[in-house]
Amino acid sequence: MENQKKCLVCNKGPEEIPVTQFYYKESSFFICCQHIPVLIHDPQKLVGFLPDADKMQGV
């Protein structure tokens, strides 16, 4: 299971960079510390990585 804990954007795992788990649309995902700001401020950049990212608005 450890090999599945990789950032949905860059595919880096916890052996390379800190990653955290989050839940969206009844699924769980992992994202690294470098891409958390994208998730928060510009989630449209996650189109292709996260379902319905094009419908999300950043804060």
Number of structural domains the chain divides into: 1
Give me the amino acid identity at 2. E
Max alpha carbon distance in the chain (Å)?
Answer: 32
pLDDT digits (tens, 9 = 90+) for 8-20: 999 999 999 999 9
| pLDDT < 50 stretches in the chain | 1-2
Q: How far apart are CA 37 and CA 26, in angstroms?
A: 22
Residues spanned by the domain of 41: 2-55
pLDDT of 59: 87
